[in-house]
Amino acid sequence: MRLRCAVLDDFQRVATRFADWSSLADRVEVVSHDRHFADEDALAAALADADIVVTLRERVPFPATLLARLPRLKLLIASGMRNTVIDYEAAEAHGVTVCGTASSSTPPVELTWALLLGLARGIVEESNALRTQGPWQSTVGADLHGRRLGLLGLGKIGSRVAQVGLAFGMEVSAWSQNLTKERADEVGVALAPSLQDLLAGSDFVSVHLALGDRTRGLLGPAELALLKPTAHLINTSRAAIVDQDALLAALHEGRIAGAAVDVFDTEPLPADHPLRTAPRLLATPHLGYVSQANYTTYYGQAVENIEAYLAGSPVRRLP
């Protein structure tokens, strides 16, 4: 009897297109789920007969309560080599091997700039107007050259976003709790004296921090109030870093020029979520990691992980 492999959140139904699963065909049956299971009961029912699960990023938590309801599960594969929503101790206790895959930081860098440019130049609004016989030129784009780009975080993604900003002729500064002048100098950007200074002095602020105790709610009402009325905020990192209610208030009251977000407190975003109708907002459905190259890596290495597990020598084990 073949093992059953469930692929979660395969919204585009491409898991079997971006990888060659033929080497497993006589041993593993692949079942793709193109809808998100919003609660543990639905997820447990869908995975009841799964021996292997492939999950995308950190969208689906695997707490101890869920793992206890999946007695057949033996191998859990997460895309990326960092996952904070899997209970590793519970997985080990239930005999579940957890593996990861490589993940490129290039796609989120590129999406950050797609959002920043789209927001600055009113691309969606102008395109929609053009296609619906709306007004010809209804917005005036914000310039990048000579403006200040403030980066929260200067890691792998933040530093590459900085390089693009410098290429546009922007003044780039960065801040995080542990950022040093040496690191800022290495990237070629200014070290902001404080979070408050960075927010108050930037024309564009882009978030590139990992979510943790120190960054959760980092940008609350007081911090967003420091932004210029002409400033733009971009978040392709984690929604919880920015207080969602405070962001909505700033957008509705016109206290900032606009925001672009790719991450949300609940994903997929509920149909009645207020961010769906917020003014001055450019939003995308968590596309930061969604690219042909990343999907080729995720699913290709998922196949490799399954082959290695079946051979008795698991690879890319987490944590």
Active site residues per annotation: 238, 267, 286
Please give the Cα distance from 143 to 145 (Å, whole number): 6
Straight-line distance from the first to the last Cα atom of the chain, in angstroms, rounded to the nearest whole number: 30
DSSP character at residue 201: H
For residues 206 and 152, the answer to whether their CB atoms sit within 8 Å is: yes
Type of residue found at 97: T
What secondary structure letter does DSSP report for 51?
S
Helix or strand or coil: residue 173?
Answer: strand
- Kindly report the three-state secondary structure assignment for every residue of 57-125: CCCCCECHHHHCCCCCCCEEEECCCCCCCECHHHHHHCCCEEECCCCCCHHHHHHHHHHHHHHHCCHHH
**Residue 253 contacts by C-beta under 8 Å, 6 or more apart in sequence?**
none
Give CA 140 to chain center in angstroms: 29
Tokens describing residue 87: 């209970």
Six-digit token string for 27: 């041993």
